[in-house]
Structure 1
């Protein structure tokens, strides 16, 4: 498809010289980056990458929380093992634990439903709708401005979703300076096809998370299905594989050090245009508070899971997600200590201020900066005031009750006037979330996690606590977790929401039925609903104020960077992006240079008897028996420039060293963040050579600041995946389905 013309304020962004490999580019911008693509050795024309109807971009898909890509004409999709974890967990029990065993469907009939919430989203159209969203905003601020933007978004989405097979969104770019409408075909029937055992897909576990050298086979295969008419449909046994417009070729030769690569996916959120004060708040208060919360939950899940195998399986996906977030947050805090990003941002803000003051015509930018600082301060105060109350609602059953009651309230309004998330279009996903609890909820765990956070909440000053919650639960200041558990156990005994049938029975009920209910969790949801709405209105007021001043600030940044010859790309916002880079190692610290490839040889050397460093014996046997020199195996060599032996210092006469093993992981300088998990890593011709799955620990702060010297993404090598499929797991049926080239 073709992108609409961008606004004049943003058109400058791609006309500038690109520095290093920084940039999470919107596809349309690649048409203007041809010179830089050529320098990186990319053979695909930028105009082709900008067109979502052409190869390879028409093969890139989203799971809604991770990235993926089609690799066959029968809807076969490859993504990360950790991205397919929900699907694996959904089909696991204590007695048939597919997480531990792995899974391979040798036929279509053996493929398993991924779960009621799982979707595949295929982006087909992206349109600039800035004028439609902002046309009626003149003079509006605060909650009024927020609501006006939301109404414009809802109207556009409704028109876009005239065909119910599509899911549309209207997304802010450059923090409200521009809006794009994203139209995606939504496949509702997703099935698990193949996943290696956790000992391969999560080798090293949380110990190695964000670390390098890495030896993790983080890959899984799913498949999208449709009805017999070729249109998206809910799961049914007689559905047929979806036939995508295109799919990625797989290059079994992989890449070498110095090769240019493309990476396409759906990065989550970055904060590269935030103020220095926002970094200080994150480093000094927000991230430490979040680390404490996640660590508490992780400890509780691990403790209860160790004593009960069923609980361990049910909460496997939850604890994995918590561990990942917690380590990333800790990495951000450590990174802030190593690199003074706050000082870097302050210096840049001072330079921007000097540029603004140099020309009286830029006075409006100065006012925007002053106003932005005020609203940011108010936002931070709001975050501190509400943090513990939000955590005090961390019960799966309370969340279900609150969602159901809010839905009943919203359904009293015309659909167009309802809050986003509670419209008719949202009902299937709400129902799916309620049903999904069947596989991921247990009363004992819910009580443990909830009581722990309520004890933290009860320890806070009175100004932070919420009278409605205290009264409904009978909480008093300073109550212990043990005392709170006694209160909570009565609630669970007086509720039917623990069953899927009990939850789904409330769909379609009137608000009055909730208000007259004697179900303990429904009563609690009703009791705190007013406070929730009041805080929501306060949040809208702040967001509406931000929607005035943040876009003006971005205009100043774009104008300033234009004069400096620097690129301007939007912060990541979970929409389709392309980045490019080079296969390369990095100087991790004084005397330590980390090389770009790891191997099965190193993987086996690293193994231990217990998780997370145990390995399937069949993998070890295949390697030791020399089953490594087939179609999917090739030697790697370090280039003569690579300082393998000299730390961060260049060797005068470095020699090539044969890399006589199957490659497992490799590094590149591609610009990635959360959400890029599962992103296709492609060679210069757009052929699949790996999957993105992580960043190095030194790179975690790239969400705030991109340092080209040390920022590296970690990818699973296609050669390892193909070797596993051919010589270890026997996935010949999938190998024959894919188009494999050299």
Structure 2
């Protein structure tokens, strides 16, 4: 909840002290200490070839895949390796019950058979230019935190105006180091992306939710796409005349494998971290965000999962939505558990005690920061209950009941717009959404979530629609749901199309679904207004806390917090000790894949040909020296959400794996890096190539790669 309202704040909370090999480093800002440590660990690649805007460099090969993942260019014909779960939405969209690529996988025998993934983009980093001096001097010091951000946004819009009408360029102004530095980051956006190879979900999603965030892992989490460009190698809309893109830099793929202690480096696009969130903010996140999210999503997902396992059509419609919802549902559980086990709150409070002593050490510090910790404590503790109600509201009405989201989308429909604009809105915003919607399933979700919301929040936070349910339906949410879905024209696409074409806005808002949406929207505004003063104090307090910590430890090396910009982390291949008497090795093999197999289980089933191939153990050049097939491996790289699909490199900057997950014991990693516990889980590139070559029978794809040993 707080992330939605304070996203721009949390993207500013930007630095941390370096512990072990902690850090998500900007390639453009690597310091001597980091480079020295990289070389100590085994890095031999030329440092000047990591980032170069004038000449081809490694940064040119690492891409933003879609809207929230990473990927890597591995051939001079535009092949991109990323995770299966990153391509999941595109694969789902291309699938049908008759051609179920999620279930059965897909391979293109030639480029003509590759499938265009409508709406999917791949973005290559063009440049990063510091623009701090063009922003901060223009921001008045007397503004509130919200006004300050609005002013920065306005200035940023002017700096980016030159890119407004270019569909193939994406540009953003990104704050770093607690808003003390700003970069203009520019990307080349390619919009003709085609599916080349994807394994069956029994490989790409092996273990499902049960194994998500867990080790040991046995998941072949990869998919292969190709970027297409025009004849001049420039981004272009989809066309049969387009040709494979020729990347500036192509990553060689290593068959050398990994062993304990080997250098490991990830480059990708981590989403966001909160490494310097105050102890008060962490406590509120645990109690008022994570716990309500776990409860509401759990109730919704139980209903979805039951329907998905019984009906293939519903499974295809809801596969991507379920995966996205359940990922952060389980993440919230793991985060709370890890924060407690690692005693993170005590560590933060110890740091804040040291800060308090520093503040009180002289009059200058007291004058500048004397109010800070008390204000933060009062703000967070005073808003704990309201923050919890807000999360219940958002998870129920914004993220839970789909019909409300559809109605809110339709509210943006311009009845008086041109026919061209209306047609574009309907095609892009409505038709696509309804393709993956099952009204009968939403009908089951609605009464469960509305009843749960009533049980968890005081009556004053109930939208007005609850009065209608009480007076006209005797408080029976199932009766209300039956009435709503029987009388709303929003529950199926044909009726909605007729409604949009033949009625005015006044008639439209009388639909029962719109009545529900408007009622919840009104309450949303009211909750936000009540929280606004707390948000303002949180934003200012966290920003000042960061400034105070940086001032207190001015000789420390700092790295910017994650902001979905290209970052590098370095470390080593290694296992870990999750608890007393237990040691996890750094790799898994095909033996564990077969051990987990359960026939017809939705999470651990394998097709007979996969079982046969793994039992045969004819791994050839893809096998390890001991004759096994290495499936996944661990490293102590510092990653977070958005790093999915990130290439993992050895010391020569050769591809050895694709990062796809973190470990359960360190799901507190967005808040604190724990070097002895935090691990990155990657799919071994040899398992990827074996699957492409032998399981999917697409050796021509492997032949495209620059293979090294």
User: Taking structure 2 as the reference length, what is the TM-score of the superposition?
Assistant: 0.88
- Name the CA shift for 1:156/1:447 in 2 (closer, same or farther; >3 Å): farther
Q: Tell me how large the CA RMSD over aligned residues is.
A: 3.3
Question: Are 1:222 and 2:225 counterparts?
Answer: yes
Q: After the TM superposition, which residues 576-587 of structure 1 pair with which residues of structure 2 at under 5 Å, given as runs?
A: 576-587=566-577
Question: Aligned equivalents of 1:55 and 1:341: distance in 2?
Answer: 39
1:75-130: CA deviation from partner (whole Å, max 9, x where unpaired)? 211111111111121122223321111111111221223243x2212221223333
2:493 pairs with 470, 473, 498, which one? Answer: 498
Within 2, Cα distance between the matches of 1:723 and 1:504? 53
Instruction: Select 1:367's aligned residue among 371, 375, 380.
Output: 371
Query: Which sits farther off after the overlay, 377-386 or 280-289?
Result: 377-386
Moved more, 175-184 or 85-94: 175-184
How far 1:23 moved relative to its partner?
0.7
CA contact (8 A) 1:203 1:613 kept: yes
Report the equivalent of 2:278.
275
Instruction: Tell me if the contact between 2:658 and 2:682 (Cα under 8 Å) persists in the aligned partners.
Output: yes
Shift of 1:711: 1.2
Distance in 2 of aligned mates of 1:701 and 1:616: 36
Deviates more, 1:220-229 or 1:334-343: 220-229
The answer for the alignment partner of 1:66 in structure 2 is 69
Q: What SS does the corresponding residue of 1:456 show, helix, strand or coil?
A: helix
Kindly state the Cα deviation for residue 575 of structure 1 after the two structures are TM-superposed: 1.8
Distance 1:107 1:503, change over 3 A: farther
Task: Report matched runs for 1:339-738 at 5 Å.
Answer: 339-363=342-366, 364-377=368-381, 380-390=384-394, 391-393=396-398, 394-406=400-412, 408=414, 432-470=428-466, 479-492=475-488, 494-495=489-490, 498=493, 502=497, 513=505, 518-522=510-514, 524-526=516-518, 529-533=521-525, 543=535, 545-563=537-555, 565=556, 567-611=557-601, 612-628=603-619, 630-635=620-625, 659-738=626-705
In structure 2, what is the equivalent of residue 293 of structure 1? 296
Q: Structure 1 residues 269-278 or 376-385, which shifts more?
A: 376-385
The alpha-carbon distance between structure 1 residues 456 and 730, as it changes in their structure 2 partners (threshold 3 A), is same
Distance 1:382 1:503 in 2: 41
Q: Indicate how the Cα distance of structure 1 residues 230 and 48 shifts in structure 2: closer, same or farther if over 3 A, else same.
A: closer
Change (3 A) 1:607 1:524: closer
CA distance in 1, matches of 2:146, 2:580: 51
- Which residue does the alignment assign to 1:27? 27
SS class of match (1:692): strand
What is the match of residue 265 of structure 1? 268
**Greater CA drift, 428-437 or 159-168:** 428-437
The answer to whether the Cα contact below 8 Å between 2:389 and 2:457 also exists between their aligned partners in 1 is no
Q: Distance in 2 between matches of 1:451 and 1:189?
A: 42
Equivalent position of 1:36 in the other structure: 37
Tell me how far apart the structure 1 counterparts of residues 86 and 155 of structure 2 sit (CA, whole Å). Answer: 33
| Distance (whole Å) between structure 2 residues aligned to residue 583 and residue 500 of structure 1 | 57
Q: Greater CA deviation, 295-304 or 721-730?
A: 721-730
Deviation at 1:528, TM superposition (A): 5.1
Q: CA deviation at 1:399?
A: 1.5
Q: TM-score of the superposition, structure 1-length normalised?
A: 0.85
Change (3 A) 1:624 1:306: closer
Change (3 A) 1:713 1:13: closer
Cα distance change, pair 712–737 in 1 and its aligned pair in 2 (3 A): same
How many residue pairs end up in the alignment?
A: 686
Q: Secondary structure at the match of 2:371?
A: helix
User: How far apart, in 1, do the equivalents of 2:480 and 2:447 lie?
Assistant: 6
Question: Is contact 1:143-1:542 (8 Å) kept?
Answer: no
CA distance in 1, matches of 2:506, 2:71: 41
SS for the counterpart of 1:631 is helix
Alpha-carbon contact 1:177-1:554 (below 8 Å) kept: no
Q: Please, which moves more after superposition, 196-205 or 22-31?
A: 22-31
* Greater displacement, 306-315 / 356-365: 356-365
Alignment deviations for residues 652-707 of structure 1 (CA, whole Å, 9 cap, x no partner)? xxxxxxx4301111000101111111111011111111000111211211122211
Q: Distance in 1 between the 2:463 and 2:209 partners? A: 39
Give the CA deviation at 1:185: 1.5
- How far 1:166 sits from its partner (Å)? 0.7
2:315 paired residue number: 312
Runs (5+) with no aligned partner, structure 2:
1-11
